[in-house]
Structure 1
C-alpha cells in the first residue's frame, strides 16, 4: 500500500497527504499485528481471508509469504516488532489468566494462552513474556491439565458403578453432612444406605406391602422410583 503512494505514482498524479500516509501506515500496522498474532497462536502466516480480498492487500500478503515467517531473515515484519505485537497480546491476557478460575465459574471463555496446545506455547519467543509471566502461565496450564485428568478419571469411575449404587450415592452427596467428605466415606455411607434400602424392600415384601422409600438421619431420602435413575454427582 505504501509503495502505491510514492510521490511520482503515474496512476495518481496527486501526491499523498499527511492524512493519507497516516491512514496507510495504520492499515499496514494493523495488518502486520494481526498476521503476527495469528502466526504465533495458530501457526498460519498471512493467511488468505474468507471473503473477497482487495488487490493491494493480496499483493501485500503475497509479499509477506514470500519474505518468510516471523523470526526468519526475510520476514517483512522486523523481529523486534513481532515481539512487541506478541508481548502486547500476552500482557492483555495476563489479568484474565490470573483470574481464570473465577471467570470459568462465571461462564467466561478461557484465555487462548491457556487453551492452546503445549507445542504452540513453546514456539513463542520467551523474550515476548514479561518477567515471570511464562512460568505463571505454565503453572496454571499444568493445574488445569491435572484437573481435567482427574475429572475424566472421576467420570470413568462413576460410569463403572452400578446404576442403583450411583443413584444412592447421589442421596449421600445431597446432604450437607457428606458433600465434602472423601470418596471412601461417601461410598461407605452409600453402602450402608443400600443395605437399609434392601432391608426396607424385604420387610415390605414380607408384609405384603410395597416399598416406597425411606428417610435417612441427615434429612435426605430415597424413593424407590429412583431405583433405575442414573445420577452423575
Structure 2
C-alpha cells in the first residue's frame, strides 16, 4: 500500500522538467518525536544544499522550471504511525519537500516509480541496492557531511567508463539521464560561486582512464569542476576532504573506501 500526501505549503514543481529526488525519512529525521517534532538527521545538509541550488536558479530566472523536486519516502512503521509529526517537522525546519510518500518496505520501490523518482538517496544499505536493481538511480548518503552552501556530487569514473556489453541496464540509462539534467543545471551558473559542484574521481588506471571518463561525462552533457586520478591510491583521503553529499557509482560501499 502506497500513500502520497502533497505538501500544500510548497509550490509544486513542473513535473515535465523537475529533477525528482527521493530521500528516506530515516535519513532526514532522527529517532523519536519529542513534542511532536523529530530531530535533525544526517540528510539535513543535503536537503539544505538542494534548496540552495533551487533558490539560486530562481534568482537567475524566476521562471526556471529545471529545479530539484524533493519527495520524502517513509517505510519505517513507527514513523508512519506518526506521519503528522513527519509533516510538522518538515514544516518546522523549513524543508522544501513537495510530497510525503508512505509505504511498506515491500512496496517502497513502487512508491519511487509512482513518483517518477530520478534519484533515490538513503543511508540504508539494503534499500539503495534494491532500488538500483529495479532501474532507479540510487546512492548512499555520506553520514559525515557538514552544512554547506554548495551541493557536492561525486561521480566514480571507473563506473562511468565501463565498456558497454549488450543492452544498457536501466540503472545506467537512469544515470545518463540524471547526468544530463545535472549538467544542464550546472551550466546555469558561472565558474565561480556556483551552488553546485561536480567532482570526478577515478580509482584505477592513469590519466587515460580519467580522460576517458571526462569525455564520457561530457558526451552526456555534464562537465566537471574537479577531477582526481588516483591510479590505485585509496579514495578515503579525497573523500574526507571533499565530503560529497553522495557518490554515484556501481558500488554502494564507496563512501567508506
- Tell me whether the two structures share a fold, i.e. TM-score over 0.5: no
Which structure's residues are more often strand, by fraction? 2
Higher radius of gyration, 1 or 2: 1
RCO higher in structure (CA 8 A, sep ≥6): 2
Taking structure 1 as the reference length, the TM-score comes to 0.30
Which structure's residues are more often helix, by fraction? 1
